[in-house]
Structure 1
Amino acid sequence: MGPIRAFRSIGNSFGLAWWARIETNNPATTYWFGPFLTKRSLKAKMKLFLNDLSGEGIGSINHSYVRCRRVEPLTF
């Protein structure tokens, strides 16, 4: 495990990691994208993730940025 990944894991275990919560309506799914050390780094990667979802023909997509602790599952 590299140092960045270790810091992300530690940050997540303490609830300090940044995550994106992405909700779609067709299909009705909630995705969690993260963890990230900073909100800035999360926002930088979000566009690629949202483009991937759009490319799959997903309906409307809403997202929010959350600082929290997450564990599996990351898709509902």
Structure 2
Amino acid sequence: MEEAAINWWAEITTMSPRCVYYFGPFETIDEARAAYPGYVKDLDGEGAKGIIIVIQRCQPKELTICEDSI
């Protein structure tokens, strides 16, 4: 039996506010790389600081995790 493919996601962490956002899913790493600058621009426009981007294969259970919701 074939395992389901795990999709690519853009994990974007911000230091202020302290949050982790997941954007996706994407079928390829190239799709994720092409899409994340738009998400970063939106977060920057909202005043987010200390933005870190990681493109990875994962299956996030939550799409937004903020320090105050932990």
Question: Shorter-chain TM-score: what band?
Answer: 0.7 to 0.9
Task: Tell me which amino acid in the other structure corresponds to 2:51.
Answer: I
Q: Which of the residues 41, 64, 67 maps onto 1:51?
A: 41
Alignment of 1:28-67 (within 5 A): 28-67=18-57
Q: Which runs of 5+ in 1 are unaligned?
A: 1-12
TM-score (norm 2): 0.81
Task: Tell me which amino acid in the other structure corresponds to 1:50.
Answer: V
The equivalent residue for 1:23 is: 13
- How far apart, in 2, do the equivalents of 1:38 and 1:29 lie? 25
8 Å CA contact retained: 1:15, 1:67? no
- How far apart, in 2, do the equivalents of 1:56 and 1:37 lie? 28
Once the two structures are superposed, what CA deviation does each residue of 1:1-55 show, in whole Å capped at 9, x if it has no partner? xxxxxxxxxxxx9352000111111110000111000010111111111100000
Number of positions where the alignment pairs a residue of Structure 1 with one of Structure 2: 63
Large movers: runs of 4+ above 6 Å: none
The equivalent residue for 2:60 is: 70
Task: Tell me which amino acid in the other structure corresponds to 2:64.
Answer: T
Determine which structure has the larger helix proportion and give its number: 1
Q: CA RMSD in A?
A: 1.5
8 Å CA contact retained: 1:15, 1:68? no
Aligned residues with identical type, % of pairs: 37
